[in-house]
Amino acid sequence: MEILWTLIALCVVVAILGRFALRRGGGPGIQLSRPGAPDAADPAAYDFVRQEDLDVRLPGPDQDLLDVLAVVQGTQNWKPAQRLLAETPKDGERRWQRVQAFAGAASLELAERPGVGGAWLRAWRSQAPKDAGAAQVHAEFLVQQAWRTSSVGQDDFRIILEEAHTVCGEAALLAPGDPVPYVVELAVARGLGRSRPEFDQLWAKVMDRAPGHMGAHLAALHYHCEKWHGSRAEAEEFATSAAARAPQGSLLSALPLFALHEHIPDVVLVNDFYRTAVVSRAMEGALHAVHRARPDDPALPQVRHLLASFLVRAERWAEAMDQFVALDGHVGALPWTLSEDPAAEYALYRALAVAGYEANGGSPATLRRP
């Protein structure tokens, strides 16, 4: 990894010139001098979903969740949400994703309608105080509220997270074997600056319940990163160790790519940075994980989204197209959610992949589809 940090250091001393994508004529595109560079192409020829129709709420399809969300938000009746979570196994990724989605929906409602939005969650919590799902969604809601409305270090930020900590404890008592309360607590620990021994104790509780939980590993990775409480080397070691222990079919082999993403500057000006050995190795690990994972693994879209962005940057057009074909329709994941307009960011990268694919001999007729 010494090569990577040297390259990143070189990036810092170069004047920022803007985003890597050069937009020519108002449309997406990049200009490269070598043969086979992408030019204008039409993603619609591949039956991709139009930008305005992309769903920014979820990383991948979960129609049951979307149906329930529509009912809950339309009627303010929390009982369909309660039933869905009660029917969702507690030992997998799906439950964690649904808890996040319900909490995010309530948080967004409250932001749009202060004092009124998200009333269904307040009613759920008050009318079913012993319901584990309600406690989990409430805890995650508080975490999202802290990050959405406050700045790190401010008093209200800490107050909200301390409340989330209390609710996490209540949720854990209501469902002793469920890892979700502890996964939520990982974000609380990061925000409150818990010490490494305290975090390790919390992480041990997660591992006792769900040692292969991808969402938990991603949450823990944030704690280990340099911008929080760790270092680049610590984050790399955490991701590499988890990938090495990953059982057959696990997506944890992709974790080093997420660690790499956490420490790459917004603008990389080093020539062929995304073709370097360290970046290529992380991408190969993620590709291996994607190819070996179950097609219905709820965490698979998260890996595909990040992998697609790296493959485009590395100009590996055909492999990038494979990811976009598998993903298309949903964009609620890294790296797109870091943008103010996730759908536009995703559509830009997708258009670049199409253009590069066609510039190198590809066409709709030659594209592999699942």
* DSSP summary character for residue 254: G
Per the CB < 8 A criterion, the answer to whether 247 and 289 are in contact is no
Over range 255-271, report the average pLDDT.
80
pLDDT, position 153: 67
Per the CB < 8 A criterion, the answer to whether 52 and 329 are in contact is no
Structure confidence by residue, pLDDT tens digits, 34-80: 445 555 567 888 899 999 999 998 999 999 999 999 999 999 999 99
pLDDT, position 22: 33
Q: State percent of the chain over pLDDT 70.
A: 86
Structure confidence by residue, pLDDT tens digits, 223-236: 998 777 778 889 89
Written in H, E and C, the secondary structure of 187-199 is HHHHHHCCCHHHH
Q: Where are the domains of the chain?
A: 1-61+231-370, 63-211
Written in H, E and C, the secondary structure of the chain is CHHHHHHHHHHHCCCCCCCCCCCECCECCCCCCCCCCCCCCCHHHHCCCCHHHCECCCCCCCHHHHHHHHHHHHHCCCHHHHHHHHHCCCCCHHHHHHHHHHHHHHHHHHHHCCCCCCHHHHHHHHHCCCCHHHHHHHHHHHHHHHHHHCCCCCHHHHHHHHHHHHHHHHHHHHCCCCCHHHHHHHHHHHHHCCCHHHHHHHHHHHHHHCCCCHHHHHHHHHHHCCCCCCCHHHHHHHHHHHHHHCCCCCHHHHHHHHHHHHCCCCCCCCCCHHHCHHHHHHHHHHHHHHHHCCCCCCCHHHHHHHHHHHHHHCCCHHHHHHHHHHHCCECCCCCHHHCCCHHHHHHHHHHHHHHHHHHCCCCCCCCCCC
pLDDT, position 225: 87
pLDDT, position 30: 45
- Using the predicted structure, report yes or no on whether residue 10 has a pLDDT greater than 90: no
Q: Is 27 helix (H, G, I), strand (E, B) or coil?
A: strand
Q: State how far the alpha carbon of 39 is from the alpha carbons of 48, 247, 326, in Å.
A: 18, 41, 23
Over range 324-350, report the average pLDDT.
94
Per the CB < 8 A criterion, the answer to whether 158 and 190 are in contact is no
Structure confidence by residue, pLDDT tens digits, 168-205: 999 999 999 999 999 999 999 999 999 999 999 999 99
pLDDT confidence tier of residue 335, bands split at 50, 70 and 90: very high
- Any bridge partners for residue 55, and if so which? 330
pLDDT confidence tier of residue 152, bands split at 50, 70 and 90: low
Give the burial class of 229: count Cβ atoms within 10 A of its Cβ; 0-12 exposed, 13-18 middle, 19 or more buried.
middle
pTM of the entire structure? 0.86
pLDDT, position 6: 41
Q: Which fold has domain 63-211?
A: 1.25.40
pLDDT, position 42: 76
Q: What is the residue-averaged pLDDT of the chain? A: 87
Over range 315-328, report the average pLDDT.
95
